[in-house]
Amino acid sequence: MSIIDIVLLIAYSISFICALLLIAALFLYFRKRLRARVVSLFMLAAFFFLGAYTVKMAVAFWIRFSTSGSDAVLSSLQSEAWAIAQTGTTLGLVILTLLMYTKRQDLFVVLSGIRKGRNPHADSNSGSK
């Protein structure tokens, strides 16, 4: 194992652990916010980005430290997994950038009208006839 492999292993490990810790913290945030029935779109986008980034780090581990054989199927799967993870990461970054530069990082979704077994628009149509 070369020095580059060791540095990459350390960097990937730190990134992966930090992303998992942030996802756990965001999960707790969302659980609390769902009880209050209001969710921040910016935090939702951050959660999506971190999820895609964590998958990307797992794929990076898989690619970097798998046996370097000439298995075409494994290589194809790794390439496809990397492309999906990179696309999710890029999409998350684009959403976060748009929210930030349009100064929309304080948008919230109010979930008070959404209840189990109830149409949220049923009350608004009942008196319109």
pLDDT for residue 11: 87
Residue 103 gets the label, from left (phi > 0), alpha (psi -120 to 50) or beta, of left
Q: What's the CA gap between 8 and 101, in Å, rounded?
A: 33
pLDDT for residue 101: 86
Domain positions in the chain are 3-66+73-106
Our CA angle for 97, 101, 107, nearest 5°, is 85
Query: H or E stretch including 38?
Result: strand 38-40
Per-residue pLDDT of the chain (129 residues; tens, 9 = 90+): 788 888 888 888 898 899 899 888 888 888 888 788 777 788 888 888 888 989 888 888 888 777 666 677 778 888 888 899 889 888 888 888 888 888 776 767 676 655 555 555 444 444 444
Our CA angle for 98, 11, 15, nearest 5°, is 45
